[in-house]
Structure 1
Amino acid sequence: MDRRTAQHVNPDTPFLNDPAAQALCVTLEEAGHVALFVGGCVRNALLGVDASDIDISTDAVPQDVSRIVESAGFRAIPTGIEHGTVTVIVDGSAFEVTTFRRDVATDGRRAVVAFSKDIKDDARRRDFTMNALYANRTGTVFDPLDGMPDLQAGRVRFIEDAGERIREDFLRTLRFFRFHAYYGNPKEGWDADALSGIAANLDGLETLSGERVGAEMTKLLSAQDPAPALAAMTRTGVLSCILPGADPTLIAPIVHLEGLIGALPDPMTRLAALGGIDAPKRLRLSRADQKRLEAIQDQSLSMLSPTAIGYLAGQQAGIGAVLLRGAMANTPLDHGIIAQVMTGVRSEFPIKASDLPNLQGKTLGDRLKALKQDWLASDLAKSKNDLLGS
């Protein structure tokens, strides 16, 4: 094994300075095995971007990994041993250690693998060239499939045959667009082989669970600007497959308005703009996300002020609603609109049931509701005396 490059990750990279990760690698190496950081942590280190997970690849088979690390006093958990993965706990930190492997068979969701001693076999079963990068514990980068030029140029390319990679796991179609939104260089355009492979395998998207599709779409919609990726998904027919009726027309205006008022990207605001038939059910949204989505959609159609919307919908949904309303009306928003929403979020309705001692039951409820509507229509300006005197 040696496809090392002249490249090194930044010495300040977290996994090079993580005592637990370093101890694990040293333990495997001293037992005569290779231990390499792989995938997202290496890719992001080379880009200067934070990465949450630290994954390690090795030529040691899972049984040997477990034996070696337990002899060193670490804990081994066989979380995915049939696929070569052992979770190793070192001083309270968890690392997935996976044996080099190659795919033997796959149904588009799960693969049957065989273990290997060859890093190139392991690299070939990954999705994109920019994810087939490895680094040892000193930061030297190994690039068995020449993915470094693609990473540096912002080219998102499938490894070898795009169609084959997609048929190994149909979720890779959605990952392709998500990776383009995060790491792609617009000047590089879209890889023709990838788009061709995606278009030829649209039927496979129907085999994916709603949970997997929803998780991937949430990540895509959280990108700084998902508009180009969503437009490409529309052109290839992907978007209509996973979310019939969705239209990305309002996504670019939403992104523009977010920048204008200083709002952070919110996937539920973008999903509200995207639309689609039965989106919460198709994407298996959590109850919290579904509630926020509904609030954004409902309040974006209201005539209330941003302050009143903030009171009714809360911070995230309130900001999302004013953004969506602005995008639909093609209207610029004032930078202070977030402060207006937040004023509503912090406000309290000045009337309590005890302020209406002569009313009870339905009559009391109707009166409180009418007074609240009056208060909301006043941009939350009316006091208790103003309301009770009305």
Structure 2
Amino acid sequence: MPNTTAIVELTILMPCLNEAETLAVCIEKALGYFERSGVVGEVLIADNGSTDGSQQIAESLGARVVDIDEKGYGSALNGGIEHALGTYVIMGDADDSYDFSDLDGFVERLRAGDELVMGNRFRGGIEPGAMPPLHKYLGNPVLSWIGRMLFRSPIKDFHCGLRGFNRQSILDLHLQTTGMEFASEMVVKSTLGGSRVSEVPTTLSKDGRSRPPHLRSWHDGWRHLRFLMIFSPRWLFLIPGTAAFAIGIAGVVLLGFGPLVIGRIGFTYSSQLYLAALAVVGYQSVLFAILTKIYAQHEGFRIPRSRSFERLEKRISLESSALVGLGLFLLGLAIAVVQLVGWATQGFGALDVEGTLRVAIPAALLMMLGSQTIMGGLFLGVLSVGTKRR
């Protein structure tokens, strides 16, 4: 137990769900680190509903146990961080895959002022059989690369479970995810918030449990990727969507005046139809990027908040979107009505297919874009109602 007469400098935090096989050895290594290093600290077990006696094992060895009712890896860690007494917290899984007796590198960097210190298993060494090939060669490298690319993070091992941080700095980030994506949220928010982030080499040993791990590769990998997508709609949706929309609109307008020949390639109404589809997809992507970021802003996901986007957000409302969307839809409808009237004056006879489609395709495109704009505005209205309730 921590020395109550001294300020607790470090909390070693372990989330726990039925870890009776390996919990004792992890706690003993952590306590041994305190004894060897002289760091004043505590071992805190954030129990997430164990039924195998893990709580009793922890308490018998001198660790402090807090019960976290809300299920999930992120929930357990968030609850543990709130209950921690230390100025600094080092968290790690209780499966004996990380060495809690060797934390000097983390403590050194934390004392130097770093607010998040990540372990890097690829630099420190991965024991044979400790990491599945799918995770080692695909999952971790790809997701870490995406994280570095989207957020300019210096971290090369986004998902290392052994990491240290300044407790107050992490509390100030208001981490919200409840599952395995909590690991990504901590790195992303720290990076976006301008925190001092660093890495130290750490080793990964083979899981000491006889049962399968809680991690589900594809399910949890998708949750990490989905989280990264929510945090960076610009590069995944806004920029590609804007490019697709611009190309599509330009092509539809140009082909509305007649066939276009570039070199040996001719473009006509069939190309115009596909370009209209490209414009619709691009516009939907842009709307998705805007609505996703508004959702992220309202939920406190984005740190720091973008002032330029906030100004844009104030100009976007259910009413303004409905008016713009209605205007686009009515313009397209008016073109369609004019075509219908013209056809009627001809006695509804045979039409010039190419000439008719060159006008009908832009008209249909305007009606689709108008409908999308109206529905986007309605969804924005739903988001606004949700925030007012809170």
TM over 0.5: no
TM-score normalised by length of structure 2: 0.30
Q: Of the two structures, which has the highest relative contact order with CA contacts closer than 8 Å and spacing of 6 or more? A: 2
- Give me the TM-score of the superposition, normalised by structure 1: 0.30
